[in-house]
């Protein structure tokens, strides 16, 4: 992890197309701005974690701790588990 000290108005460049700007610093919190291409997802880790936990709770399958860490580290939610749907009987439709 790279740790930097920045003052309001100063910027951090990530690659060629992502710019982090320190907007304001008050007490023990800061405001930052992120300028990135539209295709880049920018999410707060606590929100991603809360959604992942809610999804795991809703499906009743929390999975292993390692699987949960993997989902959170990827910043993506696990796809829903498909459920078996009854196959319609074509003969019943013509009666």
Strands 11-14 and 29-35: unpaired
Tens digit of each residue's pLDDT (9 = 90 or more) over 20-64:
999 999 988 999 999 999 999 999 999 999 998 888 888 765 456
The larger pLDDT score, comparing residue 27 to residue 71, is at 27
Domain residues for the domain of 64 are: 45-74
Count CB atoms within 10 A of the CB of residue 71.
19
Counted domains in the chain: 2
Per the domain annotation, does 89 fall within a domain? no
Nearest to residue 78, comparing CAs of 61, 93, 90? Answer: 61
Given this model, what pLDDT does residue 56 score?
Answer: 83
What's the confidence (pLDDT) of residue 23? 96
Residue 68's pLDDT is 66
* Residues 36 and 57 both lie in one domain: no
> How does the average pLDDT of the chain come out, rounded?
80
Tokens of 5: 């000290």
């Amino acid at each position: 992890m790279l740790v930097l000290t920045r003052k309001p108005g100063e910027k951090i460049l990530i690659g060629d197309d992502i710019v982090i700007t320190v907007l304001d610093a008050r007490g023990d919190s800061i405001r930052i701005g992120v300028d990135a291409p539209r295709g880049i997802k920018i999410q707060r880790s606590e929100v991603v974690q809360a959604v992942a936990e809610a999804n795991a709770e809703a499906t009743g399958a929390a999975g292993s701790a390692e699987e949960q860490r993997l989902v959170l580290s990827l910043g993506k939610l696990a796809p829903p588990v498909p459920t078996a749907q009854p196959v319609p009987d074509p003969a019943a439709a013509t009666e």
